[in-house]
Amino acid sequence: MSAPHPTPPPLPLVLAGARGHGRRHLDNIRRLEGAGRVRLAGICDLTPLTGAELAGFASPPEQSADFAALLEATGARAAVVCTPLQTHADLATAAAARGVHLLLEKPPAASWAAHRRVEDAVREAGTVCQIGFQTLGSHAVPAVRELISSGAIGRVKGVAAAGAWVRDSAYWARAPWAGRRRLGSVDVVDGVLTNPLAHAVSTALALADAERAEDVTGIETELLRANDIEADDTSCVRVTTTRGTDVVVAATLCAERAGEPYVLVHGESGRITFWYKEDRVLLQRAGHGPEEHVHGRTDLLENLLDHLADGTEVLAPPARSGAFMRVLEAVRTAPEPLPLPPDAWRTAHDTPAPRRVVPGVDGLVAACADTLRLFSETGAEPWAAPAASAGTRTS
């Protein structure tokens, strides 16, 4: 009888960016440390975390605002980067240069060139990089792909996504980079399609089996804004793929009511709706009653740890973000977002800070997903028609 394999020691890990969205990563690392998978060796943040914020960890981690120095001082083997998006590429390449494996929050970079730089650095270093598109860990994604390949809804005519969210003025004031296209000469691209609802874009591309850069043949964008910001807050995009399937995504942060974002797969004999934050799938097809299933989800950091331990396939490598980065690049290089006329929006006071609401935008976003059309093609709202003049097409 062979002796059992010894349990590997916890992997020393550094977290860069522990506040804001980073708190979710901190909680997850706390969970994984409790399970013996990792040891929080260091935290990189401009302001050190307090003892209360670090409650539940076995020992206080080292803290520093210098990410590279912290990696070297702690001997970290892995890092989670959840910092402002324009810093992602520099921190990712710093980790790769030190042989540190990485979970890198979405979007992976603020330009196509920066994304390529991350890919090159990881490949040359022989390290592993997981991009934080959490939906790619959902078991619903392969389940929906199986439904499509089995012919459950017939030939796929197109894939769409719709996101109608609410963000108030405090959201745009939360950081100097919020709502910016660039800071001086540094790309930021903090628009609705590329940051808050980036998952809608990534998930739609995944269900269309068009995730890699080479899967994209053309991109059309219509970028608008109701808020007094540089970036877009109400936008749509159509991606043409090598399979001949169009992917349309419509999104807003100026909704009348916050809704659950979803991806819609249109087939000749049915359709599939995937509420990706809930891992919930609804199948509707001719000759059958509706079928709904809620699927499980694999945590992306845990998946990275499993890969390092036993070679489990990495779920969200940089290559699976290639098509998304083509979309981000199209948004980055598009003309400045078109401001909506003052009569197209109103100010609401139903959130802690005032917010701008675009009446009718919830229905418009849904109509784009239902019809695979851009804002300017629906004719639903008078302010949507000028979007065509602000749009771009790249190939």
Tens-digit pLDDT profile for residues 143-176: 999 999 999 999 999 999 999 999 999 999 999 9
Q: Say what the pLDDT of residue 386 is.
A: 65
Q: Say what the pLDDT of residue 215 is.
A: 98
**182 phi and psi, to 5 degrees?**
-160, 155
Q: Which two tokens stand for residue 39?
A: 């040891």
Q: Which two tokens stand for residue 356?
A: 């701008």
Q: Is residue 303 part of a domain?
A: no
Residue 109 CA to residue 117 CA, distance in Å, equals: 9
Token pair 């001082």 is found at 73
CATH code, 247: 3.30.360.10
This prediction's pTM = 0.95
Residue 264 CA to residue 74 CA, distance in Å, equals: 45
Q: Say what the pLDDT of residue 388 is.
A: 60
Specify the amino acid at residue 231: A
Confidence of residue 178 (pLDDT cuts 50, 70, 90): very high
Residue 386 CA to residue 135 CA, distance in Å, equals: 33
Say yes or no: 213 and 324 in one domain.
yes
**Percent of the chain clearing pLDDT 90 (strictly above):** 93
Yes or no: say if 295 and 287 are a contact pair by the CB < 8 Å rule: no
Say yes or no: 270 and 387 in one domain.
yes
User: Is it the case that residue 109 has pLDDT exceeding 60?
Assistant: yes
Q: Is residue 266 part of a domain?
A: yes
Q: Is residue 308 part of a domain?
A: no
Residue 94 CA to residue 97 CA, distance in Å, equals: 5
Q: How many domains does the chain have?
A: 2
Residue 194 CA to residue 19 CA, distance in Å, equals: 21
Residue 84 CA to residue 321 CA, distance in Å, equals: 18
103-122: buried (b, 16+ CB within 10 Å) or exposed (e) per residue?
Answer: bbbbbbbbbbebbbbbbebb
Say yes or no: 73 and 157 in one domain.
no
What is the chain's mean pLDDT, rounded? 95
Residues with Cβ < 8 Å from 207, sequence gap 6 or more? Answer: 141, 144, 145, 148, 159, 263, 265, 272, 274
Say yes or no: 187 and 273 in one domain.
yes
User: Is it the case that residue 50 has pLDDT exceeding 90?
Assistant: yes
For CA atoms 28, 205, 210, 386, give the dihedral sign: negative
The domain boundary, picked from 114, 134, 154, lies at 134
Q: Which two tokens stand for residue 79?
A: 């890092």
Token pair 């197109």 is found at 158
Q: List beta partners, residue 234.
A: 224, 252
The domain boundary, picked from 106, 134, 162, lies at 134
Residue 119 CA to residue 126 CA, distance in Å, equals: 11
Residue 15 to residues 29, 233, 380, 389: CA-CA distances in angstroms?
Answer: 9, 29, 46, 43
The domain boundary, picked from 134, 166, 192, lies at 134
> Looking at residues 30-42, what average pLDDT do you find?
98
Say yes or no: 62 and 154 in one domain.
no
User: Is it the case that residue 190 has pLDDT exceeding 70?
Assistant: yes
Residues with Cβ < 8 Å from 256, sequence gap 6 or more? Answer: 164, 357, 358, 359, 360, 361, 362
Say yes or no: 264 and 163 in one domain.
yes
Say yes or no: 101 and 165 in one domain.
no
Q: Which two tokens stand for residue 131?
A: 């991009």
Say yes or no: 278 and 338 in one domain.
yes
SS3 273: strand
Q: Is residue 305 part of a domain?
A: no
Confidence of residue 1 (pLDDT cuts 50, 70, 90): very low
Q: Is residue 224 part of a domain?
A: yes
Yes or no: say if 218 and 212 are a contact pair by the CB < 8 Å rule: no
Q: Is residue 205 part of a domain?
A: yes
Confidence of residue 326 (pLDDT cuts 50, 70, 90): very high
Say yes or no: 96 and 144 in one domain.
no
SS3 206: helix
Q: Is residue 302 part of a domain?
A: no
Residue 246 CA to residue 248 CA, distance in Å, equals: 6
Say yes or no: 185 and 115 in one domain.
no
Tally of residues, the chain: 395
Say yes or no: 277 and 389 in one domain.
yes
Residues with Cβ < 8 Å from 280, sequence gap 6 or more? Answer: 140, 274, 292, 293, 294, 295
Other C-beta atoms within 10 Å of 203: how many?
Answer: 28
Residue-number span of the structural domain to which 264 is assigned: 139-296+318-394
Residues with Cβ < 8 Å from 197, sequence gap 6 or more? Answer: 163, 165, 249, 251, 253, 261
Confidence of residue 379 (pLDDT cuts 50, 70, 90): confident
Confidence of residue 142 (pLDDT cuts 50, 70, 90): very high
Q: Is residue 281 part of a domain?
A: yes
CATH code, 101: 3.40.50.720
Residue 280 CA to residue 255 CA, distance in Å, equals: 22
Specify the amino acid at residue 29: I
Say yes or no: 339 and 326 in one domain.
yes
Residues with Cβ < 8 Å from 6, sequence gap 6 or more? Answer: none
Q: Say what the pLDDT of residue 8 is.
A: 80
